[in-house]
Amino acid sequence: MFHYEKKLQFPVKIATPNPKLASFIISQYGGPDGELGASMRYLSQRYSMPYPEAKGLLTDIGTEELGHMEMVAAVVHQLTRNLTDEEVQANPAFAPYFVDHTTGVYPTAASGFPWSAGSIQSTGDPIADLTEDLAADGATIQEQRGRKPLKPLNRWWDKPFPAAMV
């Protein structure tokens, strides 16, 4: 059972639409290394953990990833709300997404490939599952330390992307 607070973990306040940036950030929502996959991985793997502490930890992490997913969705929504037809047409990276989803937040990679459970694993083997989790989050930690996600995002936004949000 989950307890939901009606506020984001980090406030998201974006005043200027930017469909080009949204077309890249959507990958953090439903891309192969996005928050949807992370949350589903942890929440699916928790059932086969033999120790209550491990099960609880995976539940906590999976729930935290759902919160991250909510923040990314808020960013994408705020970057795409109230777009004019001209803004959509001027952004060829966003236009195909807009045709299918308008300004709805849909789990997809920046390439347009929709989210698939094929990008996660839940084997039922605690060692294999935890090893996958370490590999997935290990890459994320390295990215965060180097702030790798910020560099490409800053190229497509007229203001520095808020590092605290990442």
pLDDT tens readout for residues 84-119:
999 999 998 899 999 999 999 999 998 999 999 988
Phi, psi of 108 (to 5 degrees): -150, 160
Position 165 in a domain:
no
Residue 8 lies in a domain: no
Domain membership of residue 49 (yes or no) is: yes
Other beta carbons less than 10 A from residue 123's beta carbon:
12
Domain count, the chain: 1
3-state secondary structure of 133: helix
pLDDT classification of 80: cutoffs 50, 70, 90: very high
Q: Is residue 12 part of a domain?
A: no
pTM over 0.85: no
pLDDT (tens digit per residue) in 32-55? 889 999 999 999 999 999 999 999
Is 134 exposed, middle or buried (CB count within 10 Å of its CB: 0-12, 13-18, 19+)?
exposed
What is the spatial distance between Cα 131 and Cα 134, in angstroms, rounded to a whole number? 5
Residue 2, in any domain of the structure = no
Domain for residue 129, yes or no?
yes
Residue 128: which domain range?
19-155
* Eight-state DSSP code of residue 90: T
The CATH number for 52's domain is 1.20.1260.10
